[in-house]
């Protein structure tokens, strides 16, 4: 069993990698006040647990695996809150809103509580629980298998329900925004579901905070030409902004 000191060290390593995406052995050894050999052993243990990837000289966040909802809640909270406020400003009373699951979507749900008479369709469990308490709201939960990492429903049953509803505006998550301006995701299933969310809405916006700019998630979200735009917390680089513009997306900087 790992000693408490080691457990605390592992927690700090995981937090550092999750926030920054990568760290060198030297950086971690200096920050934690231990030897490089100790850090190398820690990284190997965490990699064996599939909690990070070891690379030459250090470690990186695991590619192709989405962090849990709890892990993501601490990631760029201020930026996500700004995106949520901008998203809510696009919503008018009496609209039908489709809201994806995820940390930014939950902040959108909180921002929507100031509206009246909304119908909100969501696959996010936390979104539904929060919005069901607003007296003038009607809340519809999309059924299906629950993804524990996202605390939202996903799959064939969820996608099948989408075709039954008329949607005024949709707010859709993405795992990353590639350098060519393409929204991407961690799995084909989530990518397909988000493509269908876009397809059923009159207007659809991706919500992408700056921690996802040029993040290399493995699956492209297809059908994004039907999306209206992307809401970001800060303006990305000139190259990424141009790539997004070339795809015909509006970019709303929160």
- Do 89 and 154 lie in one domain? The reply is yes
pLDDT of residue 22: 79
- Do 53 and 89 lie in one domain? The reply is no
- Do 56 and 80 lie in one domain? The reply is no
pLDDT of residue 82: 97
CA atoms of 230 and 86, how far apart (whole Å): 11
* pLDDT tens-digit readout, 100-148: 999 999 999 999 999 999 999 999 999 999 999 999 999 999 999 998 8
Average pLDDT over residues 249-253: 92
Residue that is last in its domain, among 21, 41, 60: 60
* pLDDT tens-digit readout, 41-64: 999 998 887 778 888 888 887 655
Number of domain units in the chain: 2
CB-facing half-sphere around the CA of 117: CA atoms within 13 A: 4
Using alpha carbons, select from 62, 107, 102, 46 the residue that is nearest to residue 80: 107
pLDDT of residue 180: 92
Beta-bridged to residue 99, according to DSSP, are 122, 171
CA atoms of 89 and 146, how far apart (whole Å): 29
- Do 122 and 241 lie in one domain? The reply is yes
In a domain, 66, yes or no: no
pLDDT of residue 4: 44
Q: What is the pTM of this model?
A: 0.74
How distant, in Å, are the alpha carbons of 22, 76, 116, 195, 213 from that of 83?
Answer: 25, 11, 20, 20, 14
Confidence of residue 19 (pLDDT cuts 50, 70, 90): low
What residue numbers bound the domain in which 56 lies? 4-60
Confidence of residue 70 (pLDDT cuts 50, 70, 90): low
- Do 46 and 149 lie in one domain? The reply is no
């Amino acid at each position: 069993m790992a000693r408490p000191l080691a457990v605390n060290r592992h927690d700090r390593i995981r937090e550092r990698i999750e926030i920054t995406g990568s760290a060198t052995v030297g950086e971690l050894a200096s920050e934690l006040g231990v030897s490089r050999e100790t850090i190398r052993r820690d990284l190997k243990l965490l990699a064996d647990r599939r909690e990070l990837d070891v690379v030459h000289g250090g470690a990186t966040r695991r590619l192709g695996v989405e962090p849990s909802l709890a892990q993501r809640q601490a990631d760029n909270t201020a930026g996500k809150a700004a995106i949520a406020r901008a998203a809510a400003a696009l919503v008018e009373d009496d609209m039908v809103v489709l809201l994806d699951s995820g940390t930014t979507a939950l902040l959108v749900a909180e921002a929507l509580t100031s509206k009246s008479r909304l119908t909100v369709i969501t696959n996010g469990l936390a979104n539904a629980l929060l919005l069901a308490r607003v007296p003038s709201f009607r809340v519809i939960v999309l059924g299906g298998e629950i993804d524990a990492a996202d605390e939202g429903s996903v799959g064939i049953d969820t996608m099948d329900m989408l075709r039954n509803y008329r949607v005024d505006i949709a707010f859709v998550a993405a795992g990353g925004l590639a350098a060519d301006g393409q929204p991407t995701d961690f799995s084909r299933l989530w990518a397909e579901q988000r493509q269908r969310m876009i397809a059923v809405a009159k207007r659809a916006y991706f919500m992408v905070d700056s921690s996802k700019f040029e993040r290399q998630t493995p699956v492209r979200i297809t059908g994004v030409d039907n999306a209206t735009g992307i809401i970001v917390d800060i303006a990305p680089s000139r190259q990424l902004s141009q790539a997004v513009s070339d795809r015909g997306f509006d970019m709303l900087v929160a």
